[in-house]
Chains A and B, each alone.
Chain A
Amino acid sequence: GDSVTQMEGPVTLSEEAFLTINCTYTATGYPSLFWYVQYPGEGLQLLLKATKADDKGSNKGFEATYRKETTSFHLEKGSVQVSDSAVYFCALSDLTNAGKSTFGDGTTLTVKP
């Protein structure tokens, strides 16, 4: 079945540092890929998405590129802020049931001033 593997956390960075959170997936075909963010005590928010190979999703300074050849969708941000502290989930959607997503374990990011 489908699966998503995220880099183990937690990740602690200083403000303005560069962020990379690795995500690789296993799926049949070419699913859509997502990054969700969950701030403390809140629900899931879609951060960005990519629907086909080589697509780059971007939002709020975060970027991720759909790499078919490496089955990866790594999240990057050039300069993190304290307000970026949250849990980040990589996910993929089922090809025949698009609202059914498989999530990674989540990576907790803490940004210190």
Chain B
Amino acid sequence: EPEVTQTPSHQVTQMGQEVILRCVPISNHLYFYWYRQILGQKVEFLVSFYNNEISEKSEIFDDQFSVERPDGSNFTLKIRSTKLEDSAMYFCASTLNYRDTEAFFGQGTRLTVV
């Protein structure tokens, strides 16, 4: 069964450092998403991406965040200067099209900012 894969599974970084979280969506999917889950809290939408541009973003997705599809398979989330409050589980998801009702989620990357 096709799946969304994320790397690394766990990343520890120092406050102020840049991090890049990587995702490989399902190969024929066209819409990509990032979500965040702070420990013990709900899963929150960050951003959706289609045709090499952001289609929608939440208020959480401020200027320190960026997304990119650098090649035909990877989808990345960059946090430019990490803060302690960026510590969370980050999930990548993809869908075949904008009306496809099922998003396939990756296993997540746990980011710990120290």
Contacts and interface: CB of A to CB of B under 8 A. Distances in A.
Interface of A: 32, 34, 36, 42-46, 49, 51, 89, 91, 93, 96-106
B48 A100 contact: yes
Looking at chain A's contact residues, the main secondary structure is: loop
Looking at chain B's contact residues, the main secondary structure is: strand
21 contacts: A43-B106, A43-B108, A46-B105, A49-B102, A89-B43, A93-B101, A96-B98, A97-B31, A97-B56, A97-B98, A98-B95, A98-B97, A98-B100, A98-B103, A99-B48, A99-B98, A101-B103, A102-B45, A103-B43, A105-B42, A106-B43
A99 B100 contact: yes
A100 B102 contact: no
Instruction: Give the bracket for the number of chain B residues in contact with chain A.
Output: 20 to 34
Contacts of A100: 33, 45, 48, 56
